[in-house]
Structure 1
């Protein structure tokens, strides 16, 4: 699938804005355009961390596009590479799995232990690849993407940056198997968090389909 350069810029800006915004980043969409497209730091913004959270999406997205050219197997190493690029200059343990137990604010379930994480992530990558390769229809693909996204969130393999990494992997897999990106809007944050908490695969698949339909229409506009 060949994407128009302007559309790729559009995806990157919206992905960086919405995914970071879901995690509480306060940088606006116009400011995101300044950072991503114009390589400038908005003068009225004081948080370097928020700037890097946005700016790091650029190198992570370029890496994503490189992977779409060669289509490597989905591996633990690839997931760690995505995380390392997204958390560059933000985490001392970027690209490495957690070494201490973590938790999700407000969640009632327990995330995987550090000892369990490497095995569970290898199992997750192998299982996700197998299910996506075996899927025969768009609804089936969306269901697999929703289910495995929920599983990844519950493993919570990194000390921080799990949400942004999970959504970037979701975008990568959507572009690989559905030939269009999926971007979860920050406007849907409450609904998205509820779907994750309730392990509502069908509900999340429906949310992903809404994004997929929107992106297919937007792709034609470019």
Structure 2
């Protein structure tokens, strides 16, 4: 991961102070490092890479050439690349690819995406808590939706479900006909059709707009983005750089228009924020955070009020941006404690993932059970959540490093020293690995006994299985990862017990199996 110290054009808080989204597995209750820590740490890394791209590629071009030389094609190319960075881990968690316009219709639920899941469950008669209309209305009210809007909305859902409306043809490939929630999913698609075909009454549309934002069909996104690029660049070329209110108004319109189109499946808000910060720096103004930590939950915050009214008026958003600019001119936002917490989370995530590359079978989640009682007591009496997080993360990093040392010591005793290796022995090792793994293409280094193979077409799970099987021979130290020179996934073997490896290859089956490994290890 690149260092945040390399980011000189933008406020570091843009990297550490946003709230990463939880993975689907964590939302389902998993708190493992793989499901909780890793995906969220990767979102911070993705954000840093996006802003470094803006710093190294976009800003120099604008400063040298001005907005007059930025055409629509280049502007849209920048946006797609920014999103490719920003949304990488976020979309990968849902099996999607960043940097590409969504092909699925998007519903933006104002009280959180979980409402959409609740609607699908309820309209499929499978909601765990709500079995009747009145119960679901009460449920929506508890989710901060008004009683009147909830009542109209639920009545509309029943009406839509029984109607003859059809899902838009472009969405049929995304509807799982075998899903147990097919009725609810189909109802939502019918709702989209009814909205875009203007079949809702004014009362129904008003209630619906208060609950969910129905974005344009995917087929309408490319022309909408082209128009967005044209309009935005036209405004930027005529802006008075000394007129802060005018700049704030332009940025508010840019952010709203972009998020209104909602071209990507997720991370549109983060990308929109990045876009307006690029414009600010191009005007030699400080970068800003639209949302400070904790403001999302605070309904009275300027941010929450601006977002709540964004579809009716852009004045609150304009005032928010203007205030953020002026505040940043006086003193940029900073939260050193939060910055330290995120730095520790990233350190722990990187450390654990590197350990897993060497020892795929290690139970890293067991480290959480090793936290000392003294540490638990310290955080229980601390009123500061950030300081508590620092204490726990620091101990977890220490425990992980100690565990790695133990594993290194254990494996170092399993391998014989190899002062010199002949060309014949290297050839025998390659042949043995080909026989044991069924893979061709193993290579050896000239100066020392390191054997590796590039696997560009293999998934992370497939590579992990190969590493696990080779590690289980207790004849090789195995690691995997992406090569630093070209980024290709590869497996590397070192500290090879040549005699044991050749014996296993000559006496065992053509390919490693759990049974052959057990038999071989029991005989040694």
TM-score interval, smaller chain: 0.7 to 0.9
- Does residue 147 (structure 1) correspond to residue 253 (structure 2)? The answer is yes
2:220, 2:10 → 1: CA distance?
38
Within a 5 Å distance, the mapping from 1:26-105 to structure 2 comes to 46-66=36-56, 67-71=58-62, 73=70, 75-91=75-91, 92-105=96-109
SS of aligned partner of 1:11: coil
2:36, 2:220 → 1: CA distance?
39
Give 1:46 deviation, angstroms.
4.1
| Partner deviation per Cα, 1:30-71 (whole Å, 9 max, x = no partner) | xxxxxxxxxxxxx9x942111011111111111111211111
Stretches of structure 1 lacking an aligned partner (at least 5 in a row)? 26-42
1:198 maps to which residue? Answer: 309
| Partner deviation per Cα, 1:163-188 (whole Å, 9 max, x = no partner) | 11111112111211352212122333
Q: Is the 8 A contact 1:174 1:180 kept in 2?
A: yes
- Does residue 213 (structure 1) correspond to residue 326 (structure 2)? The answer is yes
1:172 maps to which residue? Answer: 278
Bigger relative CO (Cα 8 Å, ≥ 6 apart):
1
Give 1:127 deviation, angstroms.
0.7
Q: Is the 8 A contact 1:56 1:88 kept in 2?
A: yes
SS of aligned partner of 2:88: coil
Give 1:7 deviation, angstroms.
8.1
2:109, 2:309 → 1: CA distance?
14
Rg larger in structure = 2
| Partner deviation per Cα, 1:130-164 (whole Å, 9 max, x = no partner) | 11221222211110100121111111110111111
1:9, 1:180 → 2: CA distance?
9
Q: Is the 8 A contact 2:215 2:260 kept in 1?
A: yes
SS of aligned partner of 1:188: coil
- Give the aligned CA root-mean-square deviation in angstroms: 2.8
1:50, 1:89 → 2: CA distance?
8
1:108, 1:89 → 2: CA distance?
25
Alignment coverage as a number of residue pairs? 197
- Does residue 111 (structure 1) correspond to residue 215 (structure 2)? The answer is yes
2:10, 2:99 → 1: CA distance?
26
Greater fraction strand: 2
Q: Is the 8 A contact 2:21 2:90 kept in 1?
A: no
1:187 maps to which residue? Answer: 294
The structure-2 alpha-carbon separation of the partners of 1:85 and 1:125, relative to structure 1 and needing over 3 Å to count, comes to same
The structure-2 alpha-carbon separation of the partners of 1:47 and 1:85, relative to structure 1 and needing over 3 Å to count, comes to same
SS of aligned partner of 2:8: helix
TM-score by length of 2: 0.35
Q: Is the 8 A contact 1:138 1:178 kept in 2?
A: no
Give 1:109 deviation, angstroms.
3.1
SS of aligned partner of 1:58: helix
Greater Cα shift, 64-73 or 200-209: 64-73
2:36, 2:100 → 1: CA distance?
29
1:57, 1:94 → 2: CA distance?
13
Give 1:9 deviation, angstroms.
7.9
SS of aligned partner of 1:96: coil
2:40, 2:97 → 1: CA distance?
18
The structure-2 alpha-carbon separation of the partners of 1:151 and 1:10, relative to structure 1 and needing over 3 Å to count, comes to closer
SS of aligned partner of 1:104: strand
